[in-house]
Structure formats: C-alpha cells, structure tokens
Chains A and B, each alone.
Chain A
Amino acid sequence: MKIFFNIGRYFILLNKVFSKPEKGVIYRNRFFQEVYSLGIGSLGIVAIISVFIGAVITIQAAFGFSSPWIPLYAVGLATRDSIVLEFSPAIVSLILAGKVGSNIAGEIGTMRVTEQIDAMEIMGVNSAAYLILPKILGFMFILPFLIVISMFLGMLGGLVFGVLTNAVTAHQYMVGIQYDFRPYNVVYALVKVVVFAFLITSISAYHGYYTKGGALEVGRSSTKAVVYASVTLLFFDLLLTQLLLA
C-alpha cells in the first residue's frame, strides 16, 4: 500500500510544483542557475564517459565483425546506432540520474531537515515550486543538448580509438557513420531524454522534499532518489521504445 501512498503524494507535490509562481523574474533567474549547475556542471563527466564508451563500442564491434562477409563500415554503423539509440539517451541519463539525482535529493533534503523549507513556507512562499520547478525545467532544457554532445563525442571517440587501434580506417568508419542515417532516431532519442530529465529531477526532488529526521535520513533519501529514478527511467525507456519505434 505504501507505493500507492507515495505515488499519490508525488502527484500532489507535482500539482504544487506546477502552480503559478510568485514572481516570474525570480524563477527565470533560478532556471538559468539550474541550467548551469545541473547541465553545464555535468558536461565533464558526460564528455569523458561518451568518448570512452564510444571507443569501446567501436573496438568491440570491430572484434565481433571479423567475418569477411560483413563490410568494415558496419563498425561505424553499429557504433552510431548504439550511441544514438541507447547509449547516449539512456545510459548517460542513467549515470546523470546518479549525479544529478543525489545532488537534488541531498540539497532539498538538507533544506528540509534544517527547517529552511519551513522558513520559506512561513514567509508565504510556495517552497515546492520555488525549489523544484526551476530544476525540472532547467534539466529538461539542458539535457537534450548534453545528449547531442554525448552522441558527437561518442562517435568521435570511436573514430579516434578505432583508427589508433587499427580496428577500422577513418574512411570506413565515416562511411558507416553516414550509411542509412535516419533522423527520426535522433528525434526518438531526444523525446526519451526530455522524459528522463523530468523523471530524474521530479523523483529526486520528491525524495528530498519529504525527508524526515537528520543527516542519516538525508543520505537515505539520496540513495532512494537514485534507485527509484534509475528504475523508473529504465521502465520508461522500455515503454517509450515500444511506443516510438515499434
């Protein structure tokens, strides 16, 4: 029964979050702050992971396609489709669910246990909207850009390491990258990413907002936020793939 209680309370919180802001200009400033802290702050980790995973996918593909019947440009093709369809939108989002999710739950949870949220409520501020709305909108805005960068860097990593390890030539890789390219795949990936951004921020914020107790509970909330956001993300990955690709 607890799951129904949590789902109900999550939607009640969302109703509070999406109510009319007190002052638009303050929320606009907070939106840009969140775009910077959640998005630009994650650029480093996204770049590193993308380059290395792109490289690994390329080397693995070259290793797997050892048959003379399979053309070598298939390495580039496999790398591109793996990165665009699943690695960048889902795996990078899953990694960011850990980074951004724990950050949000920890920040809001600490504000809850140190009575900072109560202080906002006493002032007549809609604390849920003030704290959570800019995070949700900011991450929904910036994550697609991060994922496009991740796609680019993943393919670049594949090219550089594929050539350096003699797994594939630059020409074959570039042919594969461009072969039978479907722009819809990128649209599909970006639609998924926007939904994932909403889930990561709202679920993490929910766990932080309803933290009770002290430092120990803030830690538990952060862990729960990451676990629930990750599992929900995987479920929606499956659902959206079925809806958009099947």
Chain B
Amino acid sequence: MIEVRNLYKKFGEKQVLKDFSFTFEQGKPNLIIGESGTGKSVLLKCMVGLIELDSGEVKYSGTDFLRMNFKEKKLIRREIGMLFQGGALFDSMTVEENIVFPISLFTDASEEEKRERANSCLKRVNLENVNHLFPSELSGGMKKRVAIARAISMEPKYLFCDEPNSGLDPKTSILIDQLINDLTYELNITTVVITHDMNSVLEIGDHIAFLYRGEKCWEGNKQEILHTDNKQLNDFVYATKFLKNFKDKLI
C-alpha cells in the first residue's frame, strides 16, 4: 500500500500539485486520471523521487519515502517497477539484456538463471523469440510489453505505469491494460496507473482518483464514474458529443 498525504509541488509560479492525498491500495490497479497538463505525471515522478516535492508525505508500507536517506531510497526503489510513457528501453541493449539489467546489477544470478528469468517474464507478457532483438526493431505495443517484462523482472511490490497505452491502437491498449490488471492481482502488488484513456478507466478502474488542476476532486471506481455529479469529471468522461448524447439518453 502507498499513502500520499498533502502533496504540494510548484514550478516557478505555477502550483502543479495542491494538497493531494490518496491511498493506493495493494492488490488492485489504482488509476490517476485527468486532462493533459493537470499534474498526473508530476505526481507519479514525485512519488518515486524523480522530482522533489515541496511538502507532503509519501509512505511505502508505512515508511515515509521523503525522510529516507539515499541508501534507503535506493533499496525501496529496487521494490519498484516502472513503465514509462515511451517504454524507456535501453537502446544499446537487446530485449533480453534490458530485462536482466537490474538482475545483473543487484543479484548474483548465473547467466542461465538470468536467461530463464528473462524468458519467463517475456512469456508472461505474451512475447517469445524476441530476446535478441533491439528496441528499435520492435513495434510500439511490443516495446510496452518488454518494458512491463523489465518492470516485473525483479518481482516488485509496487508497479508504476505512466500512460501505458499512449500511442497504441485501442485493441493493443486493452491488451496492455488487461496485462497490467492480471499482473496486479496475480502478484498482489500495488499498481499506480496514470492515464487519460477512458477505455483503460472502464477496463481496469477499480480505484480511481480524478486530478483537476493539481487537486484531487473525485475518488471512486469505474461503476461510480459513469454516474457522478462532479462537473469537471463529467466534462472529462463525456468529452465527445456522442458520449454526451448517450448519457442524456441513459438518464
């Protein structure tokens, strides 16, 4: 479980996060949704320490990340897997080398054990026989799946996904969402997904926070989101005329 309390972050004069509090529950996908530029990715990067917060608390299983020293932060980061928006695969390494990279650095696993681990992670994300390919030889969906395989290679307790299906077609997006969902329940990990894709929300949104101009203005699940009275959230969910008409007819 990850608890964040009263997070504040300012860039120059712009207040990006304002008193954001939320509990990310273990064993289910927790979604942060909101319009572009509303502070979702900043929130995620603050939670993992890539951006320094102005104030607030980020507690991983009860321990405040911001009060940890450099060594403790390094240790907790080994329990974190992260899927970046563009995949962030290492260009100079093959798929297999990407996946075993953290294993090589932090364990004494033999070459055989590393290869087995890479194969099992790739199999888990439904990819096979791509071990010796370079990231530039993969499609967008394959890159995302390799990035997920790398993120789970160290058996993380926390999985962070920044726009996991950006740039993907709807069918591949759903596959990626289902994969994240299945892994979350299977490994009983705390998953945080940043998205503005409503398909993802309706597919895996068991616990959702809606971020509006840096503030959390709604919390609920995928059933509740369709019947909310919150104006900003309604404008976000029913953004197209088609969906607005659909909602009016439904009411």
Q: Known A123-B78, A124-B74; judge A118-B88 contact (CB<8 A).
A: yes
CA distance A237 to B104 in the complex (A): 41
B251 is an interface residue with CB less than 8 A from chain A: no
Option from A111, A115, A122, A126 in Cβ contact (under 8 Å) with B80 = A122
Q: Check if A121 sits within 8 Å of B88, measured CB to CB.
A: no
Say yes or no: is A26 at the interface (Cβ < 8 Å to chain B): yes
B76-97 residues at the A interface, CB under 8 angstroms:
77-78, 80, 82, 84-86, 88-91
Contact A122 B82, beta carbon cutoff 8 Å: yes
| A23 CB contacts on chain B under 8 angstroms | 104-106
Whether the pair A119, B82 counts as a contact (CB closer than 8 A) is yes
**Chain A residues positioned under 8 Å from B78 (CB to CB):** 123-124
0/1 string, B143-183, CB within 8 A of A gives 1: 00000000000100000100000000000000000000000
Interface residues of B in 211-232 (CB under 8 A from A): none
Instruction: Please give me the residue from chain B that is nearest to A124 by CB atom.
Output: B77
Check B50–A122 contact: CB distance below 8 A: yes
Knowing A118-B50, A119-B82 touch, does A125 contact B88 (C-beta < 8 A)? no
Contacts of B49 in A (CB 8 A): 121
Instruction: Evaluate contact between B105 and A114: CB separation under 8 angstroms.
Output: no
- The listed residue (A22, A116, A122) touching B48 by CB distance below 8 A is A122
Q: By the criterion CB–CB under 8 Å, are B74 and A115 in contact?
A: no
* Residue in A22, A26, A116, A124 whose CB lies within 8 Å of B88: A116
Confirm or deny: B37 has a beta carbon within 8 angstroms of a beta carbon on chain A: no
Contact status of A125 and B82, CB under 8 A, knowing A115-B88, A118-B88: no
> In residues 118-165 of chain A, which contact B (Cβ within 8 Å)?
118-119, 121-126
Closest residue on chain B to residue A19 by CB atoms = B70
Contact across chains for A124 and B101 when beta carbons are under 8 A apart: no
Interface size class of A (residues with CB under 8 A): 10 to 19
Give every chain A residue within 8 A of B102 (Cβ-Cβ).
Answer: 123-125
Known contacts A22-B106, A122-B80; is-contact A116 B50 (Cβ 8 Å):
no
Cross-chain contact B84 with A121 (CB below 8 angstroms) = no
A33 to B: closest C-beta gap in Å? 9
- Point out the residue from B48, B88, B104 that lies within 8 Å of A114, measured CB to CB: B88
- Structural contact, A115 and B85, CB atoms closer than 8 A: yes
Q: Say whether A119 contacts B88, CB under 8 Å.
A: yes
In the assembled complex, the CB of A109 is this many whole angstroms from the nearest CB of chain B, namely 13
Would you list the 6 A-B pairs with minimal beta carbon distance, nearest first? A124-B77, A115-B88, A119-B88, A124-B78, A124-B74, A122-B82
29 pairs from A and B in contact (CB 8 Å cutoff): A22-B106, A23-B105, A23-B106, A26-B104, A26-B105, A111-B90, A114-B86, A115-B84, A116-B89, A116-B90, A116-B91, A118-B45, A118-B50, A118-B88, A119-B82, A119-B88, A121-B50, A122-B50, A122-B82, A122-B160, A123-B77, A123-B101, A123-B105, A123-B154, A124-B75, A124-B77, A124-B78, A124-B102, A126-B74
14 new A-B contacts, CB < 8 A, other than A22-B106, A23-B106, A119-B84, are A22-B105, A23-B104, A26-B104, A111-B91, A114-B91, A115-B84, A116-B88, A116-B90, A118-B88, A122-B77, A123-B78, A123-B101, A124-B77, A124-B106
